[in-house]
């Protein structure tokens, strides 16, 4: 008879335990959350932990940059590996068909307690495909009070300020090559990128906006090669007197500059106001609402994120303006005076449409602007490319519906 070592017998239960845990972990259900707010993971974990506990789910919260989030969602749909929840910019709803989003249940809609105007961010035709969590995402003119007594109100003042510098250097910075900044210049010249007839990229307003945008770089007002992190850092360091950035950047800038930080509306051009586009961050449920259990989990998620306590946490810790108007007004009233300016810019801004036409317009503008700067073509040529690319993209989106 073969004698077995006693260590073997003592090790056997341990191996069995590990295998049991591995099998349990593989079978345990997860609550997978994706978002594009880079400092929000701990906050979302805090808010959603009770939901995960209630339904015996393992909570997994991941940050994915806005640039990569749409691609990640599309891949997850193709691979059948969708997250339970994603917090996305509201313009994603323009690709509802590609993302295979289902309309939210009536019960979820009715229980959310949001104003009708807020639902517009998540509505396409007669259906609602998500739940807004925060409104805003609009651009502001920030200035350093150590260098600026009274902020500029006209773009011409920035041209003049640049000329007065003893050494030629930029006086303002932003993420110059990112479309989210460029698009705000277009309505200043009299037309929108899309209108009631559809795509409107091949227009005189677009031609003028492209030309003006390039002049800002050519005349040294801005460093075109200074991206987001570069521009915000050079503003913090005092190298730039001004920066254009979103409401989401306010708390970071305030923590660095303190009382030296000023907030203002975007400059006008030849008496035409420059209005900021604004949108929302919304919940989507890529796994859908098909089973009763999934409906209940989605409802619990929405209840948690729209609770007054969660909306307050997201405002105070991450700078996200609440979707609920009454709560937003109450929190802003208690905050510092800068928030009055932030809200004023929001209320005078332009709501970014959540439509296939707008999604297609983004794709067209990206192609046209890149081609313009890389090949030194005319503004008219760039705008024409924008229109043609957007038309093809819109056709593809419509075919997926």
Q: Tell me the pLDDT tens digit for each residue of 73-132.
A: 999 999 999 999 999 999 999 999 999 999 999 999 988 889 999 999 999 888 999 999
Residue 189 has pLDDT above 50, yes or no: yes
What pLDDT is attached to residue 2?
Answer: 45
What is the bridge-based pairing of β-strands 139-144 and 242-246?
antiparallel
Q: Give pLDDT tens digits for 374-387.
A: 998 999 999 999 99
What pLDDT is recorded for position 70?
Answer: 92
Q: What is the pLDDT of residue 236?
A: 97
Burial class (CB in 10 A: 0-12, 13-18, 19+), 296: middle
What is the Cβ-side half-sphere exposure of residue 23, based on CA atoms within 13 angstroms?
Answer: 6
- The predicted model scores a pTM of 0.87
Strand, helix or coil for residue 244: strand
* Cα–Cα dist 262/242, whole Å: 9
Q: What is the pLDDT of residue 273?
A: 94
Cα R_g (the chain), whole angstroms: 25
SS3 labels along 99-142: HCCCCCCHHHHHHCCCCHHHHHHHEECCEECCEEEEEECCEEEE
Domain 145-277+354-399 in CATH 3.40.190.10? The answer is yes
For the chain, the 3-state helix, strand and coil shares in percent, each to the nearest 5, are 55, 15, 30
- Shortest CA distance to 164 belongs to which of 220, 211, 122? 220
Average pLDDT for 239-254: 95
pLDDT category of residue 220 using cuts at 50, 70 and 90: very high
pLDDT of residue 126: 87
Record: fold of 24-136+279-351 = D-Maltodextrin-Binding Protein; domain 2 (3.40.190)
pLDDT, position 157? 96
CB 323 within 8 A of CB 134: yes
pLDDT of residue 55: 96
Average pLDDT over residues 342-370: 94
Fold agreement between 24-136+279-351 and 145-277+354-399 = yes
**Residue boundaries of the structural domains of the chain:** 24-136+279-351, 145-277+354-399
- Residue 282 or 24, more confident: 282
């Amino acid at each position: 008879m073969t004698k077995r070592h006693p260590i073997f017998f003592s090790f056997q239960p341990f191996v069995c335990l590990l295998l049991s845990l591995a099998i349990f972990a593989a079978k345990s259900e997860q609550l997978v959350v994706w978002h594009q707010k880079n400092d929000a993971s701990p906050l979302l974990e805090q808010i959603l932990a009770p939901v995960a506990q209630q339904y015996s789910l393992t909570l997994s919260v991941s940050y994915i940059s806005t640039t990569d989030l749409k691609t990640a969602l599309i891949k997850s749909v193709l691979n059948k590996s969708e997250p339970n929840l994603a917090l996305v910019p509201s313009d994603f709803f323009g690709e509802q068909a590609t993302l295979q989003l289902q309309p939210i249940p009536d019960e979820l809609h009715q229980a959310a307690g949001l104003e009708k105007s807020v639902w517009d961010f998540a509505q396409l035709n007669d259906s609602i495909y998500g739940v807004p969590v925060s409104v805003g995402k609009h651009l502001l003119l920030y200035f350093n009070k150590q260098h600026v007594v009274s902020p500029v109100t006209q773009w011409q003042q920035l041209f003049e300020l640049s000329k007065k510098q003893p050494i030629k250097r930029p006086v303002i910075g932003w993420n110059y090559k990112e479309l989210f900044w460029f698009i705000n210049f277009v309505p200043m010249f009299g037309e929108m990128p899309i209108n009631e007839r559809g795509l409107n990229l091949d227009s005189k307003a677009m031609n003028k906006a492209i030309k003006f945008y390039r002049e800002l770089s050519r005349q040294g007002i801005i460093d075109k090669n200074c991206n987001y992190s570069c521009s915000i850092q050079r503003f913090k360091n005092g190298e730039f007197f001004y920066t254009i950035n979103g409401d989401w950047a306010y708390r970071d800038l305030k923590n660095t500059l303190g009382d030296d930080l000023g907030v203002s509306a975007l400059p006008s051009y030849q008496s035409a106001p420059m209005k900021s586009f604004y949108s929302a961050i919304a919940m989507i449920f890529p796994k859908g609402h098909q089973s009763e259990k999934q409906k209940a989990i989605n409802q619990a998620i929405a209840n948690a994120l729209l609770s007054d306590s969660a909306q307050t946490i997201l405002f105070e810790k991450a700078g996200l303006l609440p979707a609920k108007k009454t709560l937003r007004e109450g929190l802003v009233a208690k905050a510092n005076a800068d928030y009055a300016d932030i809200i004023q810019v929001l209320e005078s801004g332009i709501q970014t449409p959540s439509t296939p036409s707008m999604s297609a317009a983004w794709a067209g503008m990206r192609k046209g602007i890149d081609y313009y700067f890389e090949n030194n073509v005319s503004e008219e040529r760039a705008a024409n490319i924008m229109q043609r690319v957007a038309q093809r993209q819109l056709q593809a989106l419509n075919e997926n519906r």
